[in-house]
Structures are given as C-alpha cells and as structure tokens.
Amino acid sequence: MDGDFIIGGSFSLHAYMHTVYNNYTSMPEAVKCKGSIDTRELRFSRAMVFAIEEINNSTELLPGIKLGYQIYDSCALVPVAVHVAFQFLNSLDPTFSTGNNCSQSGMVMAVVGDSGSSPSISISRLISPFNIPLVSYFSTCACLSNKQQYPNFFRTIPSDQFQAAALAKLIKHFGWTWIGAVRSDSDYGNNGMASFLEAAQKEGICVEYSLSFYRTNPQSRIQKVADVIRRSKALVVVAFASFGNMKILLEELSREPFPPRQWIGSESWVTNTELTRYSFCAGAIGFGIPKSAIPGLRDFLLNLSFSEITASSVLTEFWEDAFNCRLKKSTATVDEKVCDGTEDIQNLKSQYTDTSQLRITNMVYKAVYAIAHAIHNAVCHGKNVTTQCDKLTNLEPKQVLTELQKVNFSQNGYDVSFNANGDPVAIYDLVNWQKHESGITEIVTVGLYDASLPVGKEFRINRNVTWMENSTNVPVSVCSGSCPLGTRKVMQKGKPICCYDCIACPEGEISNITDSTDCLPCHKEFWPNAKRDTCIPKPVEFLSFQDILGITLATFSILGAFLAIITAAIFFYHRTSPIVRANNSELSFLLLISLTLCFLCSLTFIGAPSEWSCMLRHTAFGITFVLCISCVLGKTIVVLIAFKATLPGSNVMKWFGPLQQRMTVMSFTFIQVLICTIWLVVSPPVPIKNLTTYKEIIILECALGSAVGFWVVLGYIGLLAAFCFVLAVLARKLPDNFNEAKLITFSMLIFCAVWITFIPAYVSSPGKFTVVVEIFAILASSFGLMLCIFAPKCFIILFKPEKNTKKCLMNKNQS
C-alpha cells in the first residue's frame, strides 16, 4: 500500500525457496518461495497491516499523514532476505506507484522484521549504511545487541541473553543437573545455545550432548540427532531451535517410539500451537512472550473480502490451502472444487484465526507503533497536535533511527521503550504444555520471569505444572544421585562434574549437607556418629569403680588390706609366742602396716583422675613400697646378724639392735620421701585428656609430669628389692627352723618377677589398661610378700600350735 511514508516488512511466510540454476545467458528468474504457507507468519504480517491502518485512522498519532507498507516474504532464508533488503533499498517493486511527486512515496523509512535472527542479521547489515532502522519482532539472537555491528537494529522481543539465563535458572530450580541440548544450526540457535551453556555452567548443570541441525540438512543428519536423543540417559532436553527446525526434528522423532523426555523449549517454538499435535512433547515447559489482547485484530483477520483474496497471491494461497479449493476454475483438477467466497472463515481452525495466544503478534504490533511514534516525533516535532502534521517534511531514515532510540510510550497497556542496545525490558511467561482428558494439548501460563526484578526474585511459579507422561511429579534428570549426609562427592575420571561417586567420610570427619564436596573434621574432643553426619562428644574412659575390672581390683585391694589387718591381729594376739618373738615382731608389725597401705594405695588408681589423686597415687605407692621393702630388708639383715651372733666370740647384735633397725627403715623410707617431694615440686603428675591413643574415645589419665621422677621412684624400689633379694639368697642355707631367709628369698623372687614384667606391660598397655597393669603389679607383689612371709607363720600359729615353742624353734636337727 502506498503512503506518505513507507514502512517495510519482512516475514517468513514460507520456509523454502525454488532452486534456480542460472545459465548466465539470460536474465535470472525472480526468487520464489515454495512449500506450504505459514499461517502464523501470515497473521504477523496482517497484524502489521492492521496496525498501520489503525494509525492512519488515528487523530492523535500522525494526524493527516498516511503510512504505506511494503511487505515481502523472506522464506526464512538468508539469500531471500538479502534480496528483500535490496528491494527496500531500491524500491523497485513495480506494483507500487510513486503517486504524488512531492511525497516521498516508495522510500522505506524503517523496516519491521524478520522472524529469524539470521535473515535479520543480513537485512540489518545491508540497510545499516543507509541508516534505515530495522525493528524486529522475533529475532532474539544476543549478537544483535552489539551496536558496533548492528547500529540500526531494535527489537520489541527480549534478547536470548535473558532467555538463556532464565532457562538455566529454571533447570536449576527443578534440580536437573544432567541434560541434553539440541539447537538449530543458525545464528539464533548457535548464539542462544552458547549463552545458555555459559549460564548453565555457572549453575552447575552438565550437558550430556549438544547437537546442531538445520531443516535443509540431509535426512541422515536429522535422524542422527533423533537417535542420540532416543539413546541418551538425560531425561531433560533443552531445544534452542526455531519453529521450522523444531518441526522437522519432532517429525523425525515421531517415526519411532522412544523413552519419554522432558522438553525445555525456547520462545521460538514452545508457544507455537501447531507443534502441540506431537503428543510425546506434552509436559514441555519454556518461556514465552506474555499473552496480550489487541482490540479489533480478530475482526480484521476474519474480515477478508473475496476481491481482496483474489487480488493477493499470498491470501489466495492461504484460502486455497485452508478450504482445499481453487479460486480459478482453470487451475482446479477434476477432484478439486472451486472456491466461491462462501467458505466459512469464522469457524476455521488455523493459527491465522487463533488469537487466544497473541504473543509474537503483539511484538509486531508494538514494532509498527514504535516506528510510527518515531516518525511522529520527527515530523510533528513530538507535539500533540490536533491539526495535520506536515507530510511534505523532507524526512530521512536517519531521523527515524535517532527518534527510535528515544521512544517511550504505552499502547493498549503495553510499555514500549528501548535500552542503549535496542532491547526492551525482558519479561517472560512460563508456559507449560498440558494435556487434557480429551487428548488436546493446551499451552498454559504457569509462571513469570521478570529480569528487571532483584537477583533471586525474578522467577516465580503460580500454578501447578504437568510434566512428561502427564505426571505431576517433577522428573529426575541427574548423572549421579544426590550424595546423602555423611558422604562426599568424588568426581568420576574423564566425566563432567555432575558425574561422581558418593564415598563415606573418612574416620573423624563428617558432612552435614547433601552433595558435600568435602568432609569436615570434628573437634578433637568430638567424634562422628555412626552416620557421620554430626559430631558427638567422645566417650570419656577411665578405670572407674563401676567397671567390672575396677570392682574386681578394688575387691582384691580391700581383701588384701583385710588379710594384712587380720594377720596383724593374729600376730598381736600371739605376740608373746616364740614364733612371733623369734621373727622380730616390731618389724613384722611395721611390715604388715606397710602392706596394708600398699593394698589400699591401689584404690587411689581407680576413679576419675584429679590433681590430688594423681599426686597421691604415685607418691603413696612409692613410699609405702619402700617402707615395705625396707622392713623386709631389715628382717633379712636381722636373720643374718642373728646367725652371726650365735658364733663364739661374736658381738654383732649390739650393732644392729631395735634402734638401728628402726633407723635403717626410716632412712631408706626418708630417701624415697625426699625423691617424691622433689618430683612433686619440680613437675608433679597432673590429670590430662589423652586424645591420641584412641581416636574415638578420650582417656582420662594422670600424666607423669616428670618421667624421670617416676622411674627414679620405681628404680629406687627395684634397687632395694634387688639388695634384699641378694641378702636373702646369701641366707637361704641357714637352718630352717631358725630363720625365714628362704621365705624372704621366695617373696623377693616373686616381687622382682612381677615388677620386671611390669615394665614392658606398662609401656605397651593402652589407655586405662596402663592403670590396670600398675594396680595388678601392686596387688601381685603385695600378695606375694603377704603369703610368702606371713602365711607359714599364721599356719603354725593357728593350726600347728605344737610347733610354736622355743624348743622346736631351737632344734636345728628337726626336719
């Protein structure tokens, strides 16, 4: 249609072109498209005509100025789009007349188009040097936002940069980490998928495969892509493809049954109702331009006069395909009827007549109005005038280009403006293909994505989603299942980060979150529970009075002390008897007292260690044992000196009387007291928590403080015991009935054997068993002394009183 100012239009009404072989000897044939007409694209082109007519009838926008249009079919192909661009530049279409010589009829001020990103790139590059703006309604490639390369490009649909980020967040939201990806091998598909994969990588999403295809590829290529989808383990497939390419792929997939897949679609195909006939795509989800309403558009689309149809080759093709008839009788075959104009378009089921999902159509509508507002601001100087604007203004496309950068208006409640890159604010509907009981698949809006909102709040779902196989449960698409608490992820060699094995946390470490990459060590006083998902306090271990072992040792300790007291009582009761008097009763009583203390000092080793018990247990043990050995040593010396005193002329007993015996015992004991005092002053034993012997328990024990002090105490006891043993051995051949040298020898033999074996056992025993070994050594050596020295005497006192006489003791020949 002619007008004062012309707006160009480029729409992909067809998907293929006739192949022309030029012989270069004659004029080449005109470029012709072929294939069935895309009724959705036809609706887009008719929406442009509707918007221009609405503007021409407006008294507020461009009053007194008539807009015209030149609309071409780009066939969704770059070669045809290049041809269309030259048409815009040359205005050579013979169907248009210049009309008024004073008007600029025929000169294109701006262009609306194209649907595909690749055709739009070609058109933009060609018309850019002439400063002719291009406003696209469906080209979403992020590359077109580059103002260095495409300074004349604008669009009313958001860039794929936003859609790619939204798709990645959508996939992350539903927990899918293992996906497949297919794209159309075009600027739209390649750039869109590149943006998506970059965003997906940031979200931790892994891609099993990423394949490209194009509708003009050989059938084998399309089939190969379909086979990969069928065989893959990823349940979720992201398809960044245009409608025409997606239709070819879905057609190939429908030839053979394959496992269900959850489809994630880009705007180009997921809102196209024509594809909903592929039932295996039911449950598909993706982002689409928000639905809108354009008052009067449906009536305009349906109000086609018979003369208007016959005058347009495009409308003729549409009419004949829709009603399966021919407008010209000469072209109709025998089986085909002739169209007579009575066909009912009102009830026609077609994308052309379907205005329930006006998404991209509204983008066309807004693009036309954006250009009209730019022309208005240039011609009418942006004033709201009631009179007619000056249509004779010498308007240049560059002026329209400049004004387009400034437009900011609302039309039918929809805001229209462009940022510095020529892009609008990104707002998407989240759409879902829901299959009803009737078998019809409907595109339902279930959520919203608004890129202008703060991070983390852009995305929301406000309606239930139906998934593949009409399920209400979110499908699971992961390479490896989620690692539970107590485990960590270990990457599988040669595979993406989403493929991993779950291994239990090592000893002493936990993980308290799912899919943990590292395990955390517990505090040194804590230990993991059985599931290794939390740290619990380590059990504290020490030899207590509640333990069976502790009870047993305590019982023997008290029993030994009781026996020593009983023995002392027996000796005291029979203190005047020969056997008691002959064996130095004073040293015997002192030995029994020290043995009682030896038995009782073992009790200090049982129970939770404290500062006083740690200092008491070793010093009490050291002092009482020295006292005990000193008494035994005194008795041994007395035996030897007593024997020497019986020899003629011997006067040695006066040198080792009772006073000297007491002094000897006290001197030996005082040395041990002095050693213990120095030990306690310099570096006393202290209670500690032993965290190294066992990893999973805490051992409460007494640290020696000074190991030298402990071994000096023990060494001094050993020195006295060895000296006593040597003297006892020297006295072993004395008459049996006179001395107890043999009994002392045997007791010292037991004592030395116990403490010699104690050393390696003490060093090698772990934890509380170190204390057990020490108590056992104390009790064993004490019982050895008790039984070897006093048991025979008690036996004679109690059961053989006839032998408890001075005569019997002095009879050296008696057996």
DSSP string covering 21-39, please? ---SSSPPPPP-EESS--H
Q: Where is pLDDT greater, at 188 or 580?
A: 188
What's the pLDDT score for residue 64? 84
Q: What is the pLDDT of residues 107-120, one digit of tens each?
A: 799 999 888 899 99
Residues 6+ apart with CB under 8 A from 127: 85, 88, 89, 111, 134, 152
Q: What is the pLDDT of residues 190-199, one digit of tens each?
A: 999 999 999 9
Q: And the tokens for 646?
A: 């019986």
Mean of per-residue pLDDT scores for the chain:
85
H or E element, residue 611 = helix 611-645
Q: Which of 79-83, 162-166, 490-494, 751-755 has the lowest mean pLDDT?
A: 751-755
Q: Which of 63-72, 214-223, 596-605, 722-731 has the lowest mean pLDDT?
A: 722-731
Q: Where is pLDDT greater, at 69 or 94?
A: 69
Q: Is 681 exposed, middle or buried (0-12, 13-18, 19+ CB in 10 A)?
A: exposed
Distance CA 629, CA 751 (A): 10
Output the CA angle 715-719-724, nearest 5 degrees: 150
Residue 401 has pLDDT above 90, yes or no: yes
Q: Where is pLDDT greater, at 329 or 517?
A: 517
What's the pLDDT score for residue 717? 85
Q: Which superfamily does 548-809 belong to?
A: Rhodopsin 7-helix transmembrane proteins (1.20.1070.10)
In 10 A of CB 295, how many CB atoms?
Answer: 8
Q: Where are the domains of the chain?
A: 5-19+26-158+294-302+357-417, 160-288+426-470, 305-344, 487-537, 548-809
pTM check: above 0.85 = no
Q: What does each C-alpha distance from 178 to 236, 677, 759 come to in angstroms? A: 7, 74, 64
What's the pLDDT score for residue 150? 95
pLDDT category at 18 given cuts 50, 70, 90 is confident
Max mean pLDDT among 138-152, 633-647, 650-664, 740-754 falls in: 138-152
Q: Where is pLDDT greater, at 217 or 640?
A: 217
Residue 153 has pLDDT above 60, yes or no: yes
Residue % of the chain over a pLDDT of 90: 35
Q: What is the pLDDT of residues 657-685, one digit of tens each?
A: 667 777 888 888 899 899 999 998 888 88
For residues 280-301, give the mean pLDDT. 92
Q: What is the pLDDT of residues 39-56, one digit of tens each?
A: 999 999 999 999 999 999
What's the pLDDT score for residue 740? 65
Q: Which of 201, 115, 700 shows the shortest CA–CA distance to 497?
A: 201
What's the pLDDT score for residue 102? 44
Q: What is the pLDDT of residues 373-389, one digit of tens each?
A: 999 988 886 455 555 68
Give the long-range contacts of residues 708-713, CB within 8 A, separation 24 or more: 709/675, 709/676, 709/678, 709/679, 709/682, 709/683, 710/618, 710/679, 710/685, 712/675, 712/679, 713/618, 713/619, 713/622, 713/672, 713/675, 713/676, 713/679
Residues 6+ apart with CB under 8 A from 668: 626, 629, 630, 633, 720
Q: Which of 491, 527, 525, 484 shows the shortest CA–CA distance to 509?
A: 527
Residue % of the chain over a pLDDT of 70: 91
Distance CA 513, CA 489 (A): 11
Q: Which of 582-586, 592-596, 772-776, 790-794 has the lowest mean pLDDT?
A: 582-586
Length, in residues, of the chain: 815
In 10 A of CB 341, how many CB atoms?
Answer: 12
What's the pLDDT score for residue 659? 75
Q: Which superfamily does 5-19+26-158+294-302+357-417 belong to?
A: Response regulator (3.40.50.2300)
Residues 6+ apart with CB under 8 A from 757: none
pLDDT category at 228 given cuts 50, 70, 90 is very high
Q: What is the pLDDT of residues 360-377, one digit of tens each?
A: 999 999 999 999 999 998
Residue 128 has pLDDT above 90, yes or no: yes
Is 352 strand, coil or helix? coil
User: One fold for both 5-19+26-158+294-302+357-417 and 548-809?
Assistant: no
pLDDT category at 94 given cuts 50, 70, 90 is very low
Residue 230 has pLDDT above 80, yes or no: yes
AA letter at 509: E
Q: What is the pLDDT of residues 609-651, one digit of tens each?
A: 888 888 888 888 888 888 888 888 877 777 677 665 555 555 5
Residue 334 has pLDDT above 80, yes or no: no
Residue 30 has pLDDT above 90, yes or no: no
Give the CATH fold of the 160-288+426-470 domain: Rossmann fold (3.40.50)
For residues 694-719, give the mean pLDDT. 86
Q: What does each C-alpha distance from 147 to 402, 422, 491 come to in angstroms? A: 14, 8, 42
What's the pLDDT score for residue 6? 93
Residue 814 has pLDDT above 50, yes or no: no
What's the pLDDT score for residue 214? 92
What's the pLDDT score for residue 761? 77
Q: What is the pLDDT of residues 467-517, one digit of tens each?
A: 998 898 999 999 888 899 999 999 888 888 889 999 999 988 999 998 888
